[in-house]
Amino acid sequence: MPKKPLRFAVVGGGIIGVAVARELTNRLDGASVTVYEKEDKLAYHQTGHNSGVVHAGLYYEPGGLKATLCRRGVDLLKEYCVAKNLPYDQCGKLVIAQTAEESTRLDAIFARAQANGVPGVRMLSGEEIKTVEPNAVGVSALHSPETAIVDYAAITNALADDVRQAGGQIRLGQEVTSLEQKEQGVVVHTEDGSEHYDLVVACAGLQSDRLAASTGEPSTPRIVPFFGQYFLLGPEARDQVKGLIYPVPDPQHPFLGVHLTKRIDGEMMLGPNAFISFGRESYSWKNINLRDVLNYALFPGFWNFARRNVPSAIREFQTVISKRKFMSEAMRFVPSLEGASIVPGTRGVRAQAMNGDGSLVDDFVIARRQDMVLVRNAPSPGATSSLAIAEHIVQQALEGRTIPGPAKMPSPLSDKGSAS
């Protein structure tokens, strides 16, 4: 008697969760796949509130999971956008050094980019910067010509259409409250009832630590929310920048600082800053979630982090309360923006995973627990890497499992890849 097809559930309707669901339907003929999303539409939180940048892989430790999955993810994402006729604008990116010290750090980033196989990357002198961005200034710059921008929400919805066409289900408005490992399989609990699955993948983003804790996993790394505010340049100044302009990361600051980002609809964004949020899903000052605030206020790791980063907090708070300060940060790279108008744009909330000692979790963290795979941390370049992360997760989830019916293997990742 033939075995029944396996039943899979994916928790989370952001781009990574939906990509995992699509990968399951692609890999396993006849598998039953269900996506649970607590909001009434997909890509509601981090996926729908980010900059839309397709990162090329400049900064990441060669051989690490981020570097490997980012480079693989870029190729997969570009192929998918072409196949689905979705916009993919290879506008390019400059990382500009303003001092000799920053220029030295930029040389190290260039070496990493080369080690990661980032195509076309090159160093520019101060004068050469203007051949790429005529209005930009700096001591030196790194040019990544294939860095691109997309609409991640549109990609997520296209992936969801693939899932539905393959027979999968997308359940909107279904909040998963806990996951319960049984002797075999996992019970997914929602406010509307419970259902048993052979395997569950949790891609819960801003709620990932809470969902993991419901399974018996450690409560750390803890999610501490930081909001990021973007502003939009007025139409009179929009053409001052052609692509993306970023500062050189400063090891003294945990967050990057204000940068300039072209958006897929032609708008030009400034930002984001990064400051503690009053809720994991709070997109305005009026929305305060006391449970979320207490969750980090009572967490020793947060105060360890705060003590070490007072100068950064002051820097970021200045851009929170002053549009002039926000604009002056952008003008360090493009002085011709002086006098330009700006209006508030989108605000996002970053699911920042933090250890008990206050250190930030940098790499992807994907944990296997019997019949569950839990995505504990998927920061930038998580959206860029989403299709490659999906391959990695599904491969990990199926290891050692007898699969009824044919199972297809993905194209192999670089042999630099490693499980987290």
| 411 C-beta neighbours (distance < 10 Å), count | 8
Looking at the structure, tell me whether residues 373 and 329 fall in a common domain: no
Provide the pLDDT for residue 262.
Answer: 96
If asked whether residues 331 and 391 sit together in one domain, one would say no
Which CATH number covers residue 419?
3.50.50.60
Over residues 244-269, mean pLDDT: 94
Q: Which CATH number does the domain housing residue 325 bear?
A: 3.30.9
Q: Which residue has the higher pLDDT, 346 or 72?
A: 72
For residue 369, tell me if it sits in a domain.
yes
pLDDT of the residue at 30:
86
Residue 189 within any structural domain of the chain? yes
What is the rounded average pLDDT of the residues 287-311?
97
Looking at 201-259, list the stretches that DSSP marks H as alpha helix, in order from N- to C-terminal side.
Answer: 208-214
| Residues 210, 240 within the same domain | no
Please indicate, yes or no, if residue 95 is contained in any of the structural domains: no
Same domain, 226 and 85: no
Q: Which domain holds residue 67?
A: 1-90+148-221+361-420
pLDDT above 90 covers a percentage of the chain that reads 85
Q: Which of 354, 374, 406 is the last residue of a domain?
A: 354
Asked if residue 288 is part of any domain, the answer here is: yes
Among residues 316, 331, 354, which one ends one of the domains? 354
Could you tell me if 380 and 419 lie in one domain? yes
Residue 134 lies in a domain: no
> What is the pLDDT confidence band of residue 409, given thresholds at 50, 70 and 90?
low
My answer on whether 252 and 339 are in the same domain is: yes
Is the distance from CB of 246 to CB of 301 less than 8 angstroms? Answer: no
Q: What residue has token string 């996926």?
A: 47
Burial of 297 (0-12, 13-18, 19+ CB in 10 A): exposed
288 and 318 part of one domain: yes
Q: Of 277, 352, 41, nearest to 172 (Cα)? A: 41
The pLDDT tens digits of the residues spanning 327-349 come to 999 999 999 999 999 999 999 99
Task: Name 10's bridge partners.
Answer: 35, 201
Which residues contact residue 161 at a Cβ distance below 8 angstroms, ignoring those fewer than 6 apart?
none
Cβ atoms of 347 and 49 closer than 8 Å: yes
Q: Which of 354, 382, 408 is the last residue of a domain?
A: 354
In-domain check, residue 186? yes
Q: Is 385 within the bounds of a domain?
A: yes
Name the 3-class secondary structure at 137. Answer: coil
Rounded to whole angstroms, the Cα distance separating 181 from 196 reads 10
Q: Verify that 71 and 215 share a domain, yes or no.
A: yes
The string of pLDDT tens digits covering residues 83-101 is: 999 999 999 999 999 999 9
Which whole number is the average pLDDT over 265-280?
95
What is the chain's Cα-based Rg?
22
pLDDT at 153 over 60: yes
The count of domains in the chain is: 2
Answer yes or no: do 331 and 270 share one domain: yes
Q: Per-residue pLDDT for 28 more than 80? A: yes
Tell me: do 216 and 229 sit in the same domain.
no
Q: Does 387 share its domain with 324?
A: no
71 found inside a domain: yes
Residues 104-129: tens digit of each pLDDT: 999 999 999 999 999 999 999 999 99
Residues 272 and 189 in one domain: no
Q: How confident is the model at residue 301 (pLDDT cuts 50, 70, 90)?
A: very high
